[in-house]
Amino acid sequence: MPLHIVIRGPSSRSMSASVCAAHRKLVARVCDRASTILSIAIVMTAAATLDPAWTGPVEALVSPSPYDASWHRENFWSGEYPNGFTMAANLTIPIRLRLDPAAAKSLSCRLKRGATYHVWNKSRVTSDRLRFISYTRIETYQLKADYKTNLTRTSDREPIDVGFKSGDRWSLLAPLYEDMFLMEAGNTTYFASQDLIDHSEKLGVSVEKHIVQDEWLGLTCANGTAGWILLGEIKDNPGFADPNIAGYGEAKDKR
């Protein structure tokens, strides 16, 4: 079974981490594991080395974080086709000063019709200084039996065989592309795939059926306000449409 993610918000909508099905006619899928890992690594590296001078005042609003050690942060939104949206109408909405679901929406943000907020819309990423930050609730798994699998270290992208013993525990940190995810075992982080989940059981008093994730968009609005939008709160609201995807890796404003 593929990973499923719940984007927190009023509708708490669930989606498969394999979200490209509706877009397959746009481009042939790349299923090669090495190519997929390379793509993930490029995204992670780029996100980790953003120039603070370029990101401007929005970057200064990232800290301090209200998320505790039970959450894992990444500076990108995951998925073969990451989330995003295109404005179907001119709207002014309240947004937050910081990445805190409990914080008041004290800022007024004007969004223009046709604007596409997506990591692939390079022109708007630059013009509006967009930031894509995700917090994923960390899940702990335990091996059901001895199992050997191939993992890829995030530090050097080196694929290695790792042997687990029955009862060994590992943490799922964040979903990535398709059935791949970021995990930690023995203080080492790896890229891993679905087979490890299939040979493990999730631990916890209250076991969630889905991965719980908050996706935050940092932006400079059309009226000059800089702040944060929690995707789950606006994604399916009137005036917000699916992102205008022109092809794999390319999104555009809608004219």
Query: Could you tell me the pTM of the whole model?
Result: 0.80
> Residue 217 CA to chain centroid, in angstroms?
11
pLDDT of residue 41: 53
pLDDT of residue 9: 59
Q: What percent of the chain has pLDDT over 90?
A: 67
pLDDT of residue 235: 87
pLDDT tens for residues 125-148? 999 999 999 999 999 999 999 999
Burial class (CB in 10 A: 0-12, 13-18, 19+), 7: buried
pLDDT of residue 21: 39
User: Which is nearest to 121 in space by CA: 246, 250, 248, 255?
Assistant: 250
Let me know: does 255 contact 118? Beta carbons within 8 Å: no
Residue 36: band (very low, low, confident or very high) from pLDDT cuts 50, 70, 90: low
State which H helix or E strand residue 13 sits in. strand 13-16
User: In terms of pLDDT, which residue wins out, 22 or 231?
Assistant: 231
pLDDT of residue 178: 76
pLDDT of residue 128: 97
pLDDT at 1 over 90: no
pLDDT at 57 over 60: no
pLDDT of residue 177: 82
pLDDT tens for residues 7-29? 565 545 444 443 333 333 333 43
Residue located via tokens 């092809």: 247
| Torsion angles phi and psi, residue 158, rounded to 5 | -90, 120
pLDDT tens for residues 167-207? 999 999 999 987 899 999 999 999 999 999 999 999 975 55
Let me know: does 176 contact 213? Beta carbons within 8 Å: no
Residue 243: band (very low, low, confident or very high) from pLDDT cuts 50, 70, 90: very high
Distance CA(180)–CA(182), nearest Å, equals 7
Distance CA(223)–CA(96), nearest Å, equals 15
pLDDT tens for residues 59-90? 444 456 789 999 999 999 998 899 999 999 99
User: Which is nearest to 253 in space by CA: 128, 131, 90, 117?
Assistant: 117
pLDDT of residue 238: 96
pLDDT at 162 over 80: yes
User: Which is nearest to 119 in space by CA: 30, 28, 43, 13?
Assistant: 43
pLDDT of residue 54: 42
Burial class (CB in 10 A: 0-12, 13-18, 19+), 174: buried
pLDDT tens for residues 211-225? 889 999 999 999 999
